Amino acid sequence: MAQVSILVIDDDPDVCGYIADLLVHDGYRVKTLTDPSKALDEFRRNDYHVVVIDLMMPKMPGVELLGQIRSVDDDVAVIILTGYPSLETATASITHDVSAYIRKPFSLDEFRQVVSKIAKRKGLAVSREDELHQTIGHSIREFRRARSLTLKQLARRTKLSVSLLSQIERAESSASVSSLYKVAAALDVKITDLFGNL
């Protein structure tokens, strides 16, 4: 399983250390920078899944750095941190398709949840459990498509809701053993086939 790679850019070394400790503990690969002028070169040299940017930095405003990063990669997930939220910075964040806008000080749980949701939305496995959910979801989708079934048709065969099946396929919800049994029966496969090569 590949580690999710995160670049943290904040001029405060204590904030960088705090975030890095939290994320490394949760299994992420983390690089921190306190000098925003070095961030673009670092970003170009290495592959990052998520970038965390402080908006208020003396050497370069975070919004300017965000624009530079977006000019290189318009898909990377970006989390904005700010101790001074404003309509202007919120609007700029929306314009640059920011994944999250977090006000300082933030709680550990809040930050953890934001990073986890972003990783899942981007299809990045962040734990063995997430990897299992992604594998099951992918297998169900592939078997369903191979049989030319829509989600609605599979829902009718399994007596499960379209919404639940969609969430299982997107790895946004874990399936119960009972649900997996119904799906496997409806797709005419063994339940173990849904687990791929795990």
DSSP 127-185: SHHHHHHHHHHHHHHHHHHHTT--HHHHHHHHT--HHHHHHHHTTSSPPPHHHHHHHHH
Q: What CATH number is given to the structural domain containing 96? A: 3.40.50.2300
For position 1, what pLDDT does the model report?
43
Residue 17 burial (C-beta neighbours within 10 Å; 0-12, 13-18, 19+): middle
Query: For 36, which DSSP code?
Result: G
Domain count, the chain: 2
**Residue 33 three-state SS:** strand
Prediction pTM value: 0.63
For position 89, what pLDDT does the model report?
65
The average confidence (pLDDT) of the chain is: 87
pLDDT at 125 over 90: no
- Structural domain of 30: 5-121
For position 2, what pLDDT does the model report?
56
Asked if residue 15 and residue 107 are part of one domain, the reply reads: yes
For position 182, what pLDDT does the model report?
95
For position 198, what pLDDT does the model report?
56
Domain end marker among 121, 148, 169: 121
For position 127, what pLDDT does the model report?
65
Q: Whose CA is closest to 187, among 160, 135, 149, 161?
A: 149
Asked if residue 136 and residue 107 are part of one domain, the reply reads: no
Q: How confident is the model at residue 112 (pLDDT cuts 50, 70, 90)?
A: confident
The torsion defined by the Cα of 118, 124, 126 and 129, in degrees rounded to 10, comes to 110
Helix axes 62-72, 87-95, angle to 10 degrees: 10
Q: What is the average per-residue pLDDT within 157-183? A: 91
Higher pLDDT, 184 or 4: 184
Q: What is the average per-residue pLDDT within 27-43? A: 92
Higher pLDDT, 96 or 176: 176
For position 197, what pLDDT does the model report?
66
Q: What is the average per-residue pLDDT within 150-179? A: 91
Asked if residue 160 and residue 80 are part of one domain, the reply reads: no
CB 126 within 8 A of CB 27: yes
| pLDDT tens, residue by residue, 51-98 | 999 988 888 888 889 889 989 998 899 999 887 766 776 676 666 778
Helix axes 177-187, 151-158, angle to 10 degrees: 110
What's the per-residue H, E or C state across 41-105? HHHHHCCCCEEEEECCCCCCCHHHHHHHHHHHCCCCEEEEEECCCCHHHHHHHHHCCCCEEEECC
pLDDT at 15 over 80: yes
Domain end marker among 99, 121, 143: 121
For position 53, what pLDDT does the model report?
94
Asked if residue 56 and residue 22 are part of one domain, the reply reads: yes
Q: What is the average per-residue pLDDT within 177-184? A: 94
Is the link from the previous residue into 105 a cis peptide, with omega within 30 of 0?
yes
Q: Which of 87-91, 125-129, 138-142, 173-177 has the highest mean pLDDT?
A: 138-142
Domain end marker among 121, 145, 163: 121
pLDDT at 179 over 50: yes
Asked if residue 93 and residue 66 are part of one domain, the reply reads: yes
